[in-house]
Copies of this chain bind each other. A is one copy, B any other.
């Protein structure tokens, strides 16, 4: 019976099961997972690197390019959720907290139209 992948918790569980079935959990320590995440972010970056900035969104309407981006984004998400799982982090709660925090930290009237500067 296929499960819904709608929630991050369900998806996290499916990815854990996928790893467990293949006896791959032993490879999934945090440092290795961050390296794998870095690898996938690198593949994502390569899709965009030489395109003129102003053309990118248009170029990615091409179904083949879009499909490639969708795959790389999936790979990044996969390792990110595996990392959260092995660290016993509830990503849904974390991202909800972070967003609530950002709504306070970046009040609309203070930051409208101004890029946040890294501290």
Contact = CB atoms under 8 A, between A and B. Distances in A.
Contacts of A94: 70-71, 73-74
Query: Interface size for chain A: under 10, 10 to 19, 20 to 34, or 35 or more residues?
Result: 35 or more
B115 A95 contact: no
A113 B32 CA distance: 15
Given A53-B29, A94-B74, A22 B111 contact: yes
A77 to B, nearest CB: 6
Contact of A44 (B8, B34, B48, B86): B34
B45 A112 contact: no
Contacts of A31: 31-32, 35, 48, 51, 53, 56
A98 to B, nearest CB: 4
